[in-house]
């Protein structure tokens, strides 16, 4: 009876202190996601440090090569490849006349394997076939100067606001120049005016 009372007292103390009676090993289902972003302003030193960090923390070898920059030091071409200790490997190479878009490297780690590992661009796999028309629209927007005069369905925009729009909603982009443009838009149309048409009216 005395031993039973001691056992009951011991169990009560465990509950009072918030301790579990039985250990649970949830390591088999434990997952951890991580990601890195490489963009046009990433320096060689930053890329080197990222590669070292990815190797140290995740045992993934990542290699940056064929890097080309414009006069501003922005990356316009790069090749990135990776290999991990589970047999996964892939690479992506981007070559552009204008600065690259952000490239995301992401993976979900679990006790057994990496899932969803790879390079991503705007949450879509870079290797996925893109709509040529949409790609042309995006490239045109990115090539515009920061002080470009822009009209979207007749309303004046700046480049920063234009980049916030969904590219899929843009039907066409025209860059107009010449005397007629200056006559219509005044001095600010001297360097040209960007006319953007959308499908907003069709969707309402």
Global confidence as pTM? 0.50
3, pLDDT greater than 80:
no
pLDDT band at 7 (very low <50, low <70, confident <90, very high): very low
**Res. 79 pLDDT band, cuts 50 70 90:** very high
Which residues are bridge partners to 172 per DSSP?
197
Q: Which of 118, 124, 122 is nearest to 105 (CA)?
A: 118
Name the DSSP letter for residue 83: E
Same domain, 61 and 106: yes
Tally of CB atoms within 10 A around 186: 10
Do 38 and 113 have their domain in common? yes
- 62 and 37, same structural domain? yes
Most confident listed range (89-93, 186-190, 200-204)? 89-93
Of 75, 109, 125, which residue constitutes the final position of a domain?
A: 125
Residues 110, 49, single domain; the answer is: yes
> Do 98 and 64 reside in the same domain of the chain?
yes
Residues 96 and 146 placed together within one structural domain of the fold: no
Sorting pLDDT into bands at 50, 70 and 90, what band is 115?
Answer: low
Torsion of CA 9, 11, 14, 18, to 10 degrees: -120
What pLDDT digit, counting tens, does each position of 118-177 carry? Answer: 777 554 444 444 577 777 887 788 888 888 899 999 899 988 888 778 777 888 899 998
Task: Give the pLDDT confidence of 27-73 residue by residue, as tens digits.
Answer: 444 556 778 888 888 999 999 999 999 899 888 999 999 999 988 88
160 assigned to some structural domain: yes
Q: How far is CA 106 from CA 33, 65, 100, 127, 173, in A?
A: 7, 19, 18, 15, 33
Quick check: is 11 in a domain?
no
Which of 21 and 104 is assigned the larger pLDDT? 104
Both 36 and 110 in one domain: the answer is: yes
> What is the predicted pLDDT for the residue at 82?
92
- Chain mean pLDDT for the chain: 76
Last residue of a domain, one of 98, 125, 152: 125
Average pLDDT, integer, range 77-104: 86
Residues 104 and 151 in one domain: no
In this structure, the answer to whether residues 104 and 44 fall within a common structural domain is: yes
Are both 54 and 109 inside the same structural domain? Answer: yes
Confidence category of residue 19, pLDDT binned at 50, 70, 90: very low
Residues 74 and 92 in one domain: yes
Q: Is 21's pLDDT higher than 50?
A: no
Of 23 and 1, which is predicted with more confidence? Answer: 1
Q: What is the mean pLDDT of residues 13-32?
A: 44
173 lies in a domain?
yes
pLDDT at 17 over 70: no
Is 15 strand, coil or helix?
helix
Residue 182 lies in a domain: yes
Number of domains in the chain: 2
| Same-domain pairing of 100 and 77 | yes
Which comes out higher in pLDDT, residue 5 or 172? 172
Last residue of a domain, one of 75, 102, 125: 125
Domain that holds residue 65: 32-125
């Amino acid at each position: 009876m005395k031993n039973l009372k001691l056992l009951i007292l011991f169990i009560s103390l465990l509950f009072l202190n918030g301790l579990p009676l039985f250990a649970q090993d949830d390591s088999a289902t434990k997952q951890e996601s991580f990601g890195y972003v490489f963009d046009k302003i990433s320096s060689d030193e930053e890329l080197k440090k990222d590669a070292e960090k990815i190797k140290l923390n995740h045992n993934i070898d990542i290699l940056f090569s064929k890097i080309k920059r414009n006069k501003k030091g922005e990356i316009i071409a790069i090749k990135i490849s990776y290999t991990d200790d589970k047999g996964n490997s892939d690479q992506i190479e981007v070559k552009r006349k204008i600065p690259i878009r952000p490239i995301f490297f992401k993976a979900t780690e679990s006790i057994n394997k990496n899932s969803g590992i790879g390079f991503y661009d705007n949450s879509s796999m870079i290797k996925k076939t893109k709509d040529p028309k949409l790609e042309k629209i995006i490239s045109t927007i990115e090539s515009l100067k920061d002080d470009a005069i822009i009209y979207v369905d007749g309303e004046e925009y700046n480049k920063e606001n234009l980049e916030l729009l969904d590219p899929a909603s843009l039907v066409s982009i025209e860059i107009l120049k010449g005397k007629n443009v200056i006559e219509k838009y005044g001095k600010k149309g001297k360097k040209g005016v960007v006319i953007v048409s959308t499908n907003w009216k069709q969707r309402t």
